[in-house]
Structure 1
Amino acid sequence: MNDGASVETIQARALEGVAHGFLGRRGGVSQGVVEGLNVGIGTRDDPEAVAENRRRAADAVLPGTRLVTLYQVHSADAVAVVEPWDDRLRPRADALVTATPGLALGILTADCAPVLFADREAGVIGAAHAGWKGALGGVTDSTLSLMETLGARRDRVAAAIGPCIARASYEVDDGFLARFAEADPANERFFAAGKPGHHQFDLEAYVAHRLAAAGLTRIEMLGLDTYAAPARFFSFRRATHLGEPDYGRQISIIGIN
């Protein structure tokens, strides 16, 4: 882990040599229930604090670059980035890819799984927001397909899955399991028994499975539970359980040096 202006930057061995980082809530200026490095434009936080946090986050990973993010909608849609856009005009999508140096691709999460991708040889990178809807819908597949249009090859792509809600913290009902079983009966292996009518879902393992099924051979799971680490990560589900009026978003960033 590296410290850039007190910002905690968690890195993956699979992406060694590529500028990247999975960030939590440490090192920011926000106060209250979103205290720390809240980068969520849609929160009730002070916009100036959010802007400062986003600047710190980008500088902690790749100083001097422009941070590019999306208006995330839990879709399977991916977009290619050639140049930065105004934050007010963010595309509605859930994955970004680029082959352009000087851009920092950012994905916001608060329990969903951030996935960072890199084909070092081709100089192509990607970042995806994989909540259960996007993961089931194929957001990681869309990311890889779009990376290929820029010259990436799946047999060279490495991917890392960052902090997300873990199975022990992710209780779901029968209807939730049924959606996954309908898509593929083998998906039931990602659910552990819970209280009657409920199950514990392993989002991280499911995302890793989708990456492997898409042809990736180098996949790293960081195994960090956002729900269970309140001092380190924001969590939508934890905030909901505590009855808090808002929740922060953390960011995962990848860029081309």
Structure 2
Amino acid sequence: MTDSPASPFRVRRVVTSRAGGVSEPPYDTFNLGDHVGDDPAAVASNRARLAREIGLTPDRLVWMDQIHSRTVQVVTGPVEEPLDATDAVVTTQRDLALVVLTADCVPLLLSDERAGVIAAVHAGRVGARIGIVPRVLEAMVSVGASVGDIGAFLGPAASGDYYEVPASMRADVEKHLPGSATKTKKGTPGLDIRAGVRQQLLAAGISGVAQDPRDTMADRTLYSHRRAAPTGRLASVIWMDTSR
């Protein structure tokens, strides 16, 4: 959470865990993904609880139909359905929460408090490789943000310790997302997409990059698709709170 005395709002960020919901195994219990095979009623109940816990009504949460693309949408108010085929969403609206769902991919939350612009990004291996991060920065600037004023938060994701891939894939991703190539704890080719995204953000001129250190593949309080599929999805949420 960031508090700016000169601002009429506070930028708030929340990351959920597996605990506190009503979903049955293997989605137990606070699954927020509606596309993974869970009971729709359980997902709806969990989503309603998320809205309640952050002090908003369910219609003030913006969800995305994430497809590992580089599509960015700017929203100017509540939307009735998840944004179709979208992996990043930007807004200047207060009390409108942007939600990204993950279970190993990198959730990226961005904010320019001076301009009042926020974004939520699904930066998985494919999306990060093809440029979702530069696209969302461009979209934020287009509605008034300044790159030098943007702060970034990288949420829980699969780390290079366990994210094992073929050597050819590692080389290809490293070519497009420098800094992501690594070795796993076993000494095999690995990827650390958060490290690559972090390097990309810093290269773009964003100096404030915070990171949740948790590894979804190692931390069983979090969902991990690579560790155990099917499974649920975590939510990383950002909004500009005017309730103070």
Letter in 2 for 1:239: A
Aligned ranges for residues 217-256 of structure 1 at < 5 Å? 217-230=207-220, 232-240=221-229, 246-256=230-240
Question: Which residue of structure 2 aligns with residue 43 of structure 1?
Answer: 36
1:169-202 Cα shifts (integer Å, max 9, x gaps): 1111112112124437xx3663126768x41211
Match of 2:116 in 1: 123
The unaligned stretches of length 5 or more in structure 1 are: 1-10, 241-245
Matched, 1:215 2:215: no
Which of 145, 152, 155 aligns to 1:162? It is 155
Distance of 2:35 and 2:49 partners within structure 1: 18
Aligned residues of 2:92 and 2:118 also touching (Cα < 8 A): yes
- Aligned partner of 1:210: which letter? Q
Q: Which moved more, 1:57-66 or 1:70-79?
A: 57-66
Instruction: Give secondary structure in 2 for the equivalent of 1:171.
Output: coil
Amino acid at match of 2:215: D
Q: Name the TM-score, length of structure 1 as normaliser.
A: 0.85
Give the C-alpha shift of residue 69 in structure 1. Answer: 0.9
Q: Distance in 2 between matches of 1:228 and 1:210?
A: 25
1:84 paired residue number: 78
Which one-letter code corresponds to 1:133 in the other structure?
V
* Contact 1:62–1:255 (CA under 8 A) maintained in structure 2: no
**Correspondence list, 1:131-150, <5 A:** 131-150=124-143
Matched with 1:6 is none
Percentage identity across aligned positions? Answer: 35
Task: Give the secondary structure class of the aligned counterpart of 2:19.
Answer: coil
Q: Classify 1:54/1:136 alpha carbon distance in 2 versus 1 (closer, same or farther; 3 Å).
A: same
Q: Which amino acid in structure 2 is aligned with residue 192 of structure 1?
A: K
CA distance in 2, matches of 1:77, 1:144: 12
Shift of 1:62: 4.0
Contact kept? 1:126, 1:143, Cα under 8 Å: yes
Displacement of 1:12:
8.1
Name the SS of the counterpart of 2:165 in structure 1: strand
Q: Structure 1 residue 43: deviation in Å? A: 1.9
Query: Greater helix percent: which structure?
Result: 1
Match for residue 26 of structure 2 among 33, 42, 53: 33
* Structure 2 unaligned residues grouped into runs of 5+: 4-8
For 2:45 and 2:174, the matched residues in 1 are separated by 43
- What CA deviation, in whole Å up to 9, does each residue of 1:117-165 have, x standing for no partner? 1111111100000101111111111111101111111111000000001
